[in-house]
Amino acid sequence: MLVNKNFRRLIRWGGGATDKELYKAWEQLFSEYAELSATPQYKNMIGLSKEIGQLQSKIMTVNVCLQVLNNRYSDTALGALKRLGYTVYIDINDKQKYQKALISVRKKSKSRRAYTDATHHTV
């Protein structure tokens, strides 16, 4: 199940769970198993898995904010980026500077994505 990521094997009698629900159930089962086994290796793996999940969530948030800001200015999207640690100076009156600011955020988010991918491969 871990190798081929076929989480459908968690369903014993043809249940109607979505892939997302199955994956979440598997994560919960694996997390509880790791905590009960209390080995440092599993605790480390769970910590890395949680970190990966948090980073992926931040990357998705950045992508959504960038999509919104590409279409129109939004204080909410800008505030979300700032809370995630991006220093964004947007001049809505200068379209060229506006686009440069968005490109800068996109480049920084790619480095986070690369870090997440590298961490994911170590797990």
| Per-residue pLDDT band at 115 (split at 50, 70, 90) | low
Is the pLDDT at 2 greater than 70? The verdict is no
Q: Tens of pLDDT along 64-110?
A: 999 999 999 999 999 999 999 888 888 888 888 888 889 888 888 87
pTM attached to this predicted model? 0.58
Chain length of the chain: 123
Whole-angstrom distance, CA of residue 63 vs CA of residue 92: 19
- CA distances (Å), 115 to each of 8, 60, 63, 109, 121, in order? 30, 14, 16, 10, 10
Q: Tens of pLDDT along 17-33?
A: 676 777 777 778 877 77
Q: Which residue has the higher pLDDT, 6 or 22?
A: 22
